[in-house]
Amino acid sequence: MAKVVGGVGTSHVPAIGAAVDGGRTGDPYWKPVFDGMQAARDWIAEVKPDVCIIVYNDHASCFSLNLTPTFALGVAESFQPHDEGYGPRPVPVVRGAPDLAWHLAEQLILSEFDITIVSEMTVDHGLTVPLSVLFGQPAEWPCRVIPLCVNVIQYPPPTGNRCLNLGKAIRSALESFPEELKVAVLGTGGLSHQLQGERAGLINVEFDNAWLDAFVDRPATVASMSHLEVLREAGSEGLECVMWLVMRGALNEDVDVHHRFYHVPASNTAYGLLVLEDAKNPASPGR
């Protein structure tokens, strides 16, 4: 079976990708952010997942408003980085995991999640920045990737509860895969930020920290928050944090926090990072 070895939540701020690509991670502005990532890099280097399922949003790069899938699963052999207007990031091509991706598509759709199956897609900073956060600048990404693209761009996005339940269904689907594989699930986006309108520049440290606390210990509470509440507190683009709930759902109810880091600001955004594993000594029985 394919086994979930852990979950990572990380913001996907494009300026972080630009700092990596431009060799500026040691600059005084960026050093504290990259120092805060090191424990996550050490963790993934130790765990060595075969596949990362990356839950992210496309920022009108691959998809336009002509086509807005709520959940789009990439089943291709490979995914090219998207040119977002300043040239595609100079990062390796993302190698897919078609066998596992098709298995996920089948199991999820038969469990009544209406996934869009995507055989050809490009991936923007929403997916490539988390890879840079965890792996730096390798000649090739050290694992295969299944992109799971969530609509948080065009109203109405999926509910937190739907995302949490999708994560649970992903875990069940992985468990019925015939091959032995180690899988990490990454939830990306957030934390608080607003890039537009009168509240542009909004960051809400108090909300983010309370949200992270609840995300770890009471995910159902976080999942039941209305979009309006998240939007009010975390800003219009802060709503991206709903995607972390897919990762949380793929883990057991009880988790161990391997690493937690929060830093303000990273560009216009509050940077959040969590590395979670199923609890070694769960207080309540696992699924």
From candidates 5, 13, 146, 241, binder to ligand DHB by CB under 6 A: 13
From candidates 9, 157, 189, 249, binder to ligand DHB by CB under 6 A: 189
Residue span binding ligand DHB (CB under 6 A) among the ranges 79-87, 101-109, 157-165, 187-195: 187-195
Evaluate whether 33 touches 210 at the Cβ level (below 8 Å): no
Residue 193 appears among annotated catalytic residues: yes
> What is the footprint of ligand DHB within residues 27-66 (CB under 6 A)?
59
Catalytic option among 193, 258, 259, 263: 193
Catalytic option among 103, 125, 259, 263: 125
| Unique residue bearing structure tokens 């972080």 | 16
Helix (H) or strand (E) holding 26: none
Determine, following the binding rule CB under 6 A, whether residue 267 of this chain makes contact with ligand DHB.
yes
Nearer to ligand DHB, 107 or 269 (CB): 269
> What is the footprint of ligand DHB within residues 134-173 (CB under 6 A)?
none
Determine, following the binding rule CB under 6 A, whether residue 240 of this chain makes contact with ligand DHB.
yes
Evaluate whether 168 touches 251 at the Cβ level (below 8 Å): no
Shortest distance in whole angstroms from residue 196 CB to ligand DHB: 10
Task: Say which residues have a Cβ less than 8 Å from residue 212's Cβ, sequence separation at least 6.
Answer: 191, 260, 262, 272, 274
The total number of residues shown for the chain amounts to 287
CB neighbours (10 Å) of residue 252? 17
Comparing C-alpha atoms, which of 89, 70, 246 is closest to residue 174? 246
Angle between helices 98-110 and 160-175 (to 10 degrees): 120
> What is the footprint of ligand DHB within residues 190-209 (CB under 6 A)?
193, 195
- Which residues are marked as active site? 125, 193
Residues that bind ligand DHB (CB under 6 A): 12-15, 59, 189, 193, 195, 237, 240, 267-269
